[in-house]
Structure 1
């Protein structure tokens, strides 16, 4: 039976670029990597004339059968290229096999961090893969397409640098290393040249956020990281002229949030110009209004200058302290001991004084870390900021930890639904200790990282002497023991030990009526007995305020709930809950406690309106803690103060 070679309706060679996000959410995640590849390829006149290049972008959560049917119902393309990460490695391997059943002569290309320099393993596991791209892919992919048009055999690609392939004898051949792209502007913008479809059928921006790169490269060599294959590399930047044109387009499209996909935003002087351009764009079009990114590890004067500029302009962001650990022994093994990022206390105090949102990142399971050292560091950090993202250490390809598993005594296991290696034990962490800590991490991520109890932490610590870890373990242990349908759901989510269960639990906390019921039961049955009776009325009201200020969620799966009216504040739509009556001035008390002051704790009836930004559904469903905090309910004066722009320098 002859194979169906092409799914294209025209006579050109057909090429698919395939991406899949990690989360299932209402809006697509922008396929930026595929956009760059298509933009570079179609800038070549011959490739553009001879090839039809389509981006096939899939949400997280869809299965292999869905993707296969979506791509292959009308046949298969001539070339299919997958952007591979740990969460889609196995799925894309399976789809490669399906592709070869339909088009045995077609080319299958894998690229991305997870497969770069891993060709031996990829070819062994998935013989249907023909080529693995090593390093940056734009130039190599274009050269591969040119080779295909020249009639080059896929078993004889020695002339194309930057890849691995199998020759006629089934031996793996790796070609010369391709130099990194010095002039990033030589990569056409996928936004400006139309490589990416930016709008849906109704003309609205189709993605949850706009992804941009302002630079590539990372000067550090952290043992756990392989950021774009550019660790230990000079940082290269796109020109401000190009970035200005891209921001202009996003402003016209009404894009609310820009995510700069840089390893260390703020490390270059030009990053200040980018933020200033972003603010100028908002002044013309009303958008964009928020910037999220991975901020520079070492906070230079340039960082402070950028933060002041953003504050003056009312431009939102979550400022990240990527500490990873506070333990000197673990820092040494991480190759981060000399990084100024760990001089964090003055920085957190400065951000708090400026009234700026900030969160920190910690990694559990690093060699050299113990349970005691980690929990001590966690609670020390929590005295300055309650929103701490705790991630279990994963072994990633091409990293120092992966290369030194034996040195650190690491025992690991591959994931069931992904291709990451999960650490089970090492020289300073036993199996049992790790299992106990997974319980803590689950609740730290669901409740603290996602700001479910963002106001209660400081009140419980300052007034009742309870550390953040004590409160989290109280909740987790109580849920494990109580008989309640909501607790049953949360126990089942925790038992999944992965992103699926974590995402289910986070969404449950923001959207299901059972969450409020079970949290109230925990507070009364487990937490209240630990409190002095004189403090109970106030602390109970702070807790109620936390529950009241969770995002207003009206997704298709939302339970019946009060439909709040909508008001416009400084150009943004907000749901408004009117005349909320509190027994104390909770916003004022919490603010004073954060500032280290001793507020008046006496009862005083306080009535206020709470405002919740419209559109939380995508942020809640994707469980994006960096964005979901922008949808929390707040009094009007806090929003107005934040949005009121001052003249920037």
Structure 2
């Protein structure tokens, strides 16, 4: 039995004249749009490790897009094809694997990735229902996959050999037996053992207008959240690549990328002191290449002082996270999570307000022990702490997590429903057959402490938060009224009552949102599949009438086509609160009226990127913008007349067009874009052009 990172000598001295062909596949759906928009870094690591140890004995090709994979398979199936298995591509990968087995039974099919049960019995059940899979690799893949490929070559691709059972992390799925074992020991020295797929040129073909470069500076997660794949003990130890390597990768990517942003695959960026040095390297890359415009990553939840310092370095390219998932101790205990203290979050938010970065937190609805009151309290706690964006998620039962086990289901009495994952469906030509593929996931919509009716009310409240808080849509308003002692939580509470009332201008949006949610959830997976295949349901998803991310889609509808109604609702609520506090006078009234008009021009229809707008005001919004509204406009008072131009600079136009190329500029595309990146990238800049 081989262990660790022992090298094979089978083909190093006498490499094969005709190398064995290996396809590494990390598919994304492309029928509606390119869904998973990051470069396939995971299979890049596999390819680099495989080539490092087997040299010219193997010929490795990487695939992201279904059409490219189909074209290559038509030209001839490889000896080995390996698929990365995620929630958003499982059915698509299985569809390809089944067709490969039909056309080329001798091709060995390998799967790996997190979308796999943790329970041994459930693993065996999974493999028995997927006979197209010969081997499944559990855990970190580089070592196990290399040892498997090496043994397959030496055994002339006969997948029934008993020796395969001895490779740590490799689960065997033969016609007669299914064998599982523990994952391979993780690589502790990733710097020396895993080559850079970027610097080796393995990912060059993926520098296109669709895919955002994905880099990794560290692996592992010390936290144990039950709703996350990386909450298992197996992933608890963290290790990192060197600053020098990351610097070299940044420079390599910056000279080739065609998209404005960067994604870091780290689970807790900022956990290591060296991450501050990496932030400085990213800043240098920005100054040299004008890239990246923004960075998407998960920051560490404990090292907030370091993360704030990183945000000072990177400015508005960085978003600072303080994810809590819940603020209730019982809920956190149920999911094995510990948050930093509330005081630390307040401190982080206050310090971050002096930088150009945006702060955010994440809250998951309907976790074990959650209630309507607890969910809303978590939101209000974060609003009052000064966190700007509050990203709201539903509790998705991910295979391979503790939260999705049968024990957790029984203990917390989950009520679940099934839905199609947004953008993850389509009809694909797979080796001469048109095959409909749909990815479906399971969502908790009630539990022992949260009845389904309360869940629905929380979802209505979440839409209010998305509309009236997230994306800095009203940031100027909230920062301004903070000078008068008005908290965002008070405004959101009143706005929710006002916006959801029957006589509200936005009532129809809430009703459409409710109906949209109801029509997209099904009591069972089989019922949903039957609807798609036999009741014309699939056409509804293709047309866009179904299958949307409801929160982000209806937010886009309002922000990009009903902004005036939103502003009217928010500003009227603020005026009512000021009346109650005896603070509404001629100055505050004029300021609020002018601010509403200013926001409408600054953030209205983002597709009009070449348009410029002018306005007049009694307050210097140019100075207020530069101070991030730290200036008190009510103390400054009215001071003559100011004229402003609101428009995009040429560089900003170029970046927005690149985002539109990547995501699209219709409502679905804008919803997807603003789900991934701060909406401020679409906001116009203000310029003072006159003063009387």
What TM-score does the superposition give when structure 2 sets the normalisation length?
0.75
In structure 2, stretches of 5+ residues that fail to align are 1-16, 422-438, 522-543, 664-669
Q: Distance in 2 between matches of 1:578 and 1:493?
A: 35
Is the 2:148–2:170 contact (alpha carbons within 8 Å) kept by the matching residues of 1? no
**2:436 match:** none
1:44 to 34, 50, 53: 53
SS at match of 1:374: helix
The 3-state SS of whatever aligns with 1:369 is coil
CA contact (8 A) 1:29 1:209 kept: yes
Question: Structure 2 residue aligned with 1:449, among 463, 470, 473?
Answer: 470
Aligned residue in 1 for 2:643 = 607
Asked if 1:247 is matched to 2:247, the reply is no
The question of 1:190 aligning with 2:190 is answered no
Q: CA deviation at 1:304?
A: 3.9
C-alpha distance in 1 between matches for 2:228 and 2:184: 21
Residue 268 to residue 245, structure 1, CA distance change in 2 (3 Å): same
The reply to whether residue 432 of structure 1 matches residue 437 of structure 2 is: no
Question: Which residues of 2 match residues 196-275 of structure 1 at below 5 A?
Answer: 196-198=203-205, 206-227=209-230, 233-253=236-256, 256-275=260-279
Q: CA deviation at 1:393?
A: 1.5
Change in 2 beyond 3 A, CA 1:12/1:624: farther
> 1:94 matched to which residue of 2?
95
Q: Distance in 1 between matches of 2:518 and 2:478?
A: 26
Contact preservation (8 Å) 1:28, 1:207: yes
Distance 1:396 1:341, change over 3 A: farther
1:175 is aligned, of 181, 185, 188, to 181
Aligned partners of 1:132 and 1:80: how far apart in 2?
12
Cα shift at 1:492: 6.1
Query: Residue 509 and residue 367 in structure 1: after superposition, are their counterparts in 2 closer, same or farther (change >3 A)?
Result: closer
Q: Post-superposition shift, 1:505?
A: 6.8
Distance 2:567 2:680 in 1: 26
Aligned equivalent of 1:360: 361
Maintained 8 Å contact 1:453/1:547 = no
Structure-2 separation of matches of 1:352 and 1:493: 37
* Alignment correspondent of 2:524: none
Tell me the equivalent position of 2:297: 293
Contact 1:323 1:341 in 2 (8 A): no
Range moving further from structure 2, 120-129 or 616-625 = 616-625
Q: Secondary structure at the match of 1:221?
A: coil
Offset of 1:187 from its aligned partner? 1.1
Partner secondary structure for residue 267 of structure 1: coil
Change (3 A) 1:240 1:35: same
Are the aligned partners of 2:466 and 2:555 in contact in 1 as well (CA < 8 Å)? no
Q: Secondary structure at the match of 1:337?
A: coil
Classify 1:479/1:457 alpha carbon distance in 2 versus 1 (closer, same or farther; 3 Å): farther
Q: 2:396 aligns with which of 383, 394, 397?
A: 394
Alignment check: 8 A CA contact 2:37 2:211 kept = yes
Shift of 1:75: 4.7
- 1:30 and 2:39 correspond: yes
- The residue aligned with 2:112 is 111
Separation (CA, whole Å) in 2 of partners of 1:337 and 1:27: 30
Partner of residue 549, structure 1 = 602
The aligned residue for residue 154 of structure 1 is 159
Q: How many residues align?
A: 592
C-alpha change, 1:386 and 1:130, in structure 2 (3 Å) is same
The answer to which of 231-240 and 593-602 deviates more is: 593-602
| 2:171 corresponds to which of 157, 160, 164 | 164
1:16 to 19, 23, 31: 23
Give the RMSD, CA atoms, in angstroms. Answer: 3.9
The aligned counterpart of 1:647 is none
Cα–Cα, structure 1 residues 338 and 74, in superposed 2: closer, same or farther, change >3 Å? closer
Task: Compute the TM-score of the two structures, normalised by the length of structure 1.
Answer: 0.79
Residue of structure 2 equivalent to 1:55: 62
Measure how far apart 1:483 and its partner are: 9.1
Contact 2:375 2:458 in 1 (8 A): no
**Structure 2 CA distance for partners of 1:428 and 1:304, relative to 1, 3 Å:** same
Residue in structure 1 matched with residue 492 of structure 2 by the alignment: 468
Q: Kindly state the Cα deviation for residue 446 of structure 1 after the two structures are TM-superposed.
A: 5.7
- How do 1:485-634 and structure 2 match up within 5 A? 493-495=516-518, 497=520, 502-503=548-549, 506=552, 517-521=561-565, 528=572, 531-532=575-576, 538-550=591-603, 553-554=606-607, 561=608, 563-564=610-611, 577-582=612-617, 584-586=619-621, 599=635, 605-612=641-648, 613-614=652-653, 615-616=655-656, 617=660, 618=662, 620=670, 622-625=672-675, 627-634=677-684
Measured in 1, the distance between the counterparts of 2:572 and 2:566 equals 9
Deviation track 1:3-43 (CA, whole Å, cap 9, x = no partner) reads xxxxxxx9654332222347835995311112112222222
In structure 1, the partner of 2:535 is: none
- Checking the alignment, whether the CA contact within 8 Å between 1:386 and 1:448 is kept in structure 2 is yes
> In 2 relative to 1, CA 601–329 (structure 1 residues): closer, same or farther, beyond 3 Å?
farther
Please name the residue that 1:3 is paired with: none
